[in-house]
């Protein structure tokens, strides 16, 4: 990076604070910047660059500490300089200008406000915003005469307002680069349309690629409800003089950007992963085939079936070309079964469609004060009206949207969307109502039968679980500290991102309670994530039980649990990552077992015994593991053993050496006979399991996989036979 010994001509080089959104941002200021020099502030850098293989020179802003040069803003994107003679400076008229050596202007801020140039300061904020301000009058106001955040190129940065300022007529929208070597304005754009009901669009020239749907008071129409806590705080501000979108990462250290990509014609959100030294794609819009604009054409509605899209005509409509429709050519759309008779009583009506992305509002009329009933009447009285809906779905709904002509770009959104009322003939409406009535009768009858069966099941289960619930209640009363799990709570979105959405490529294995995945947190820390399957026998109590024990127990031969996550149906345990996975992968594999010499096996045995002694004697809780086996012994990078999986563990008092259970759980082959037969467990149960494990480590054979002289043995029988024959 170049230094700046010549950057200050008439202005002093100062650092001062400017308030932005209640946070202090420092401006690194300058008066003149030459090609070869850069201006640095926080995570960003401003200077001259040449993209890809191009020799053209541009002034831009990029991430400072990212080795892959990632440009987020370009000043002279459509007017490059052909050599390295460029100078960026404040002109006597009070503008920031970019000139080449012959005095040609290649870019300017073009502000017309008359100010004293002696007080002007230009510089770079830590947020990546390049600003021009009056140092004397606006030092602490956060007001800028000009700022790059008002003129984005292809990237949205955290804190940037993206949308319309109706007073200043700023339309902050994105325009993609032409290609990787050319930052000039391409054909792909993304921005908000200027409307009483804001919505955003991705376009290729004049052709629409994606439409977000109008803002309905909660979200944009095509936006689906999130099933997990996201990594970002996203907000849409909708006021009389402006409407805009902006976002901030929950973790301020997280580097992120939203960019419109010319190559794939999509809006993409990227996150920088320091450990991998690369940008990871976090979100892509359009998300799926149904997000593609007007997928099903007029009066057609799109639904995702797995990863494929499927189009259907709305009720009361049929395909214009049934032959094309049958081969999934939906371009001609749908038409009415029969025309309605406008404003004739009992001749036309409306069919309600739930959870849909409403049609394109290009040919629509909007009232923010009208009730839904008045909206219906107004639509019915206009022969050109094809549908109506609320403009705001918060509370009981308010406002009115009325559509004219064909309904375009609709999709089904099972867990979001809103109600849409489509005009249809009275016959279609009656048929649909009759169908609904039949459905209600069938549903009511079915539900009654299910309720009766359910009551029988409840009574049966209640008797079985009465004793179990009583014991659990007593345990909770005596151990109220269970509620204080003493472990960090992890964000589900962060874990989902860390495991690449629980990709099979990251899957380490699968036990009786669910799969385990390898992951990497944003700070580069490797983790193992145990994800309980929804059908797992391990419920919330077993899960909390494991979290409780892992928060209380600390020993070098017990696996370390970093935290947990409970969200809706998801239950996750986050462990330290064990490089060599589990002991059974070495013991029972002919090639890997060669790495376990006798000294290594002895060290593993000693480590397991130390962990077991800690559980039984030295910890502040007396713990019986109840599921000690080779797959529950994990090995770190140094092959040191660590006991894992405390989901079935039980806690005993200091004077209690055994317990009893009616629910025998664990792994057959490792269970002590008195536990497997009578449900009696004690520290001796673990010692028995340890003995089986000891024989497996010594022999390298599974307890139930031994064959000798055409007779089947387990390891205990084999050991006893050798003992009695005096060969052991």
User: Which residues are identified as catalytic?
Assistant: 627
Q: What angle do CA 670, 672, 676 make, to 5 degrees?
A: 95
> CB-side exposure of 212: number of CA atoms within 13 Å?
21
Instruction: Give the Cα separation of 519 and 527 in Å (integer).
Output: 5
For residue 355 the two structure tokens come to 């959870």
73, 204 contact by CB (below 8 A): no
- Contacts by 113-117 with C-beta closer than 8 Å and gap 24+? 113/145, 115/145, 117/90, 117/92, 117/93
331, 324 contact by CB (below 8 A): yes
DSSP bridge pairs for 573: 530, 564
Residue 244: in which H helix or E strand, if any? strand 242-249
For 288-315, the DSSP string reads: SGGGBTTTT-TTEEEEEETTEEEEEEPT
Give the DSSP letter of residue 665: -
For residue 26 the two structure tokens come to 């420092």
Task: Kindly tell me the sign of the dihedral angle through the C-alpha atoms of 592, 597, 601, 607.
Answer: negative
For 65-109, the DSSP string reads: S-SS--EEEESSTTS-BSSS--EEEE-TTS-EEEE-TT--EEEE-
Could you give the 3-state DSSP secondary structure of residue 254? Answer: coil
Instruction: Give the Cα separation of 80 and 98 in Å (integer).
Output: 10
Could you give the 3-state DSSP secondary structure of residue 669? Answer: coil
User: Of 670, 695, 683, 595, which is closest to residue 635 (Cα–Cα)?
Assistant: 595
398, 391 contact by CB (below 8 A): yes
Instruction: Name the E strands within 496-630.
Output: 507-511, 514-520, 526-531, 561-567, 570-576, 622-624
For residue 364 the two structure tokens come to 């629509």
Helices 715-724, 683-699: inter-axial angle, 10-degree rounding: 80
Centre a 10 Å sphere on the Cβ of residue 591 and count the other Cβ atoms it contains.
Answer: 7
- Contacts by 3-10 with C-beta closer than 8 Å and gap 24+? 3/37, 4/30, 4/33, 4/37, 4/38, 4/39, 6/32, 6/34, 6/37, 7/31, 7/32, 7/33, 7/37, 7/39, 8/32, 10/118
Residue 544's alpha-carbon distances to 513, 582, 619, 646, 727, in angstroms, are 14, 23, 19, 10, 48
Could you give the 3-state DSSP secondary structure of residue 495? Answer: helix
H, E, C per residue of 113-169: CCCCHHHEEEEEECCCCEEEEECCCCCCCCCCCEEHHHCCCCEECCCCCEEEECCCC
Residue 689: in which H helix or E strand, if any? helix 683-699
Is there a cis peptide before residue 286, judged by omega within 30 degrees of 0?
A: yes
Task: Kindly tell me the sign of the dihedral angle through the C-alpha atoms of 105, 109, 115, 121.
Answer: negative
Instruction: Give the Cα separation of 377 and 382 in Å (integer).
Output: 9
Could you give the 3-state DSSP secondary structure of residue 473? Answer: helix
For residue 83 the two structure tokens come to 């050599």
């Amino acid at each position: 990076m170049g230094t700046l010994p010549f950057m200050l001509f008439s202005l002093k080089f100062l650092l001062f604070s400017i308030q932005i959104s209640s946070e202090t941002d420092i401006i690194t200021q300058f008066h003149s910047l030459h090609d070869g020099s850069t201006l640095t502030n926080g995570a960003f850098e401003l200077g001259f660059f040449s993209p890809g293989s191009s020799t053209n020179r541009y002034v831009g802003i990029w991430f400072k500490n990212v080795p892959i040069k990632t440009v987020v803003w370009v000043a002279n994107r459509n007017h490059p300089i052909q050599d390295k003679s460029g100078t960026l400076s404040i002109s006597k008229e009070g503008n920031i200008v970019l000139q080449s050596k012959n005095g040609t202007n290649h870019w300017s801020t073009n502000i017309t406000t008359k100010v004293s140039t002696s007080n002007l300061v230009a510089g770079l904020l830590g947020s990546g915003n390049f600003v021009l301000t009056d140092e004397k009058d606006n030092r602490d106001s956060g007001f800028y005469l000009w700022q790059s955040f008002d003129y984005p190129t292809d990237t949205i940065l955290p804190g940037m307002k993206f949308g319309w300022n109706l007073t200043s007529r700023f339309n902050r929208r994105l325009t993609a680069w032409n290609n990787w070597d050319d930052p000039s304005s391409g054909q792909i754009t993304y921005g908000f349309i200027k409307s009483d009901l804001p919505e955003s669009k991705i376009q290729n020239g004049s052709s629409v690629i994606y439409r977000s749907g109008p803002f309905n008071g909660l979200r944009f129409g095509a936006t689906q409800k999130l099933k997990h806590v996201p990594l970002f705080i996203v907000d849409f501000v909708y006021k009389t003089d402006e409407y805009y979108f902006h976002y901030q990462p929950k973790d301020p250290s997280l580097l992120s950007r939203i960019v419109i990509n010319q190559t794939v014609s999509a809006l993409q959100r990227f996150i920088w992963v320091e450990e991998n030294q690369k940008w990871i794609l976090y979100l892509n819009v359009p998300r799926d085939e149904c997000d593609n604009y007007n997928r099903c054409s007029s009066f057609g509605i799109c639904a995702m079936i797995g990863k494929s899209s499927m189009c259907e005509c709305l009720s009361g409509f049929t395909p214009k070309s049934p032959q094309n429709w049958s081969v999934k050519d939906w371009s001609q759309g749908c038409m009415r079964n029969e025309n309605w008779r406008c404003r004739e009583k009992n001749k036309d009506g409306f069919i309600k469609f739930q959870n849909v992305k409403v049609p394109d509002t290009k040919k629509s009329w909007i009232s923010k004060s009208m009730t839904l009933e008045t909206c219906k009447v107004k639509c019915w009285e206009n022969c050109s009206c094809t549908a109506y809906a609320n403009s705001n779905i918060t509370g009981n709904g308010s406002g009115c949207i009325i559509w004219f002509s064909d309904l375009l770009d609709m999709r089904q959104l099972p867990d979001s969307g809103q109600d849409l009322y489509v005009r249809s003939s009275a016959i279609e409406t009656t048929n649909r109502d009759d169908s609904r009535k039949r459905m209600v009768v069938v549903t009511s009858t079915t539900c009654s039968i299910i309720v009766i069966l359910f009551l029988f099941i409840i009574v049966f289960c209640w008797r079985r679980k009465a004793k179990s619930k009583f014991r659990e209640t007593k345990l909770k009363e005596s151990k109220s500290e269970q509620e204080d799990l003493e472990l960090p709570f992890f964000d589900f979105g962060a874990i989902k991102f860390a495991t690449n959405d629980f990709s099979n490529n990251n899957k380490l294995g699968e036990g009786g309670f669910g799969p385990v995945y390898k992951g990497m947190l944003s700070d580069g820390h490797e983790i193992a994530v145990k994800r309980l399957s929804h059908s797992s026998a391990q419920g919330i109590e077993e899960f909390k039980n494991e979290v409780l024990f892992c928060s209380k127990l600390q020993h070098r031969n017990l696996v370390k649990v970093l935290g947990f996550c409970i969200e809706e149906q998801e239950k996750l345990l986050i462990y330290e990552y064990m490089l060599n996975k589990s002991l059974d992968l070495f013991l029972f594999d002919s090639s890997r077992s060669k790495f376990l010499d006798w000294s290594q096996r002895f060290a593993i045995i000693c480590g397991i015994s130390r962990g077991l002694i800690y559980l039984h004697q030295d910890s502040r809780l007396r713990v019986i593991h109840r599921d000690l086996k080779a797959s529950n012994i994990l090995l770190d990078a140094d092959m040191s053993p660590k006991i894992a999986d405390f989901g079935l563990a039980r806690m005993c008092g200091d004077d209690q050496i055994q317990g009893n259970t009616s629910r025998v759980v664990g792994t057959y082959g490792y269970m002590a006979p008195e536990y497997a037969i009578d449900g009696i467990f004690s520290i001796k149960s673990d010692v028995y399991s340890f003995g089986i494990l000891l024989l497996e480590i010594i022999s390298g054979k599974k307890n139930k996989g031994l064959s000798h002289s055409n007779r089947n043995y387990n390891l205990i029988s084999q050991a006893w036979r050798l003992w009695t024959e005096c060969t052991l």
